[in-house]
Amino acid sequence: MTLERFGWQPGLCYLTVFNQSEVRQRAVVTLTALAQPSACRDLVRDAAVMWQERRTAVELDAGDVCVLAFTGPYAGDVLAEDVRVDEVK
């Protein structure tokens, strides 16, 4: 799984999680330095995303993507060290 951050405006940030493999995969997205969002939606599925202890799980089919829109105390772009994605084996 790969993680890409894009776009920014005060109070919002966006992350894309992409499963570039040829099989369904599960992963955990961890906000390492970024504050937990007060609200989060997967814009592809139009569904709320729940976070617990700055982590959320995603499960994506081969070639699938989710786009997470965060609402919270964000005042600048998300940096690479602010978030990570770990595959679940």
For residues 85 and 56, the answer to whether their CB atoms sit within 8 Å is no
Domain ranges of the chain: 2-77+84-88
Residues 6+ apart with CB under 8 A from 3: 15, 16, 17, 18, 29, 83, 84, 85
pLDDT attached to residue 13? 82
- Supply the mean pLDDT for the chain: 85
pLDDT digits (tens, 9 = 90+) for 41-67: 999 999 999 999 999 999 999 999 999
- Tell which wins on pLDDT, 16 or 72: 16
Query: Cα dihedral sign for 60, 66, 70, 76?
Result: positive
pTM of the entire structure? 0.81
Q: What is the mean pLDDT of residues 7-14?
A: 74
Q: For domain 2-77+84-88, which CATH number applies: 2.60.40.1180, 3.30.56.10, 2.60.120.260, 3.30.300.30? A: 2.60.40.1180
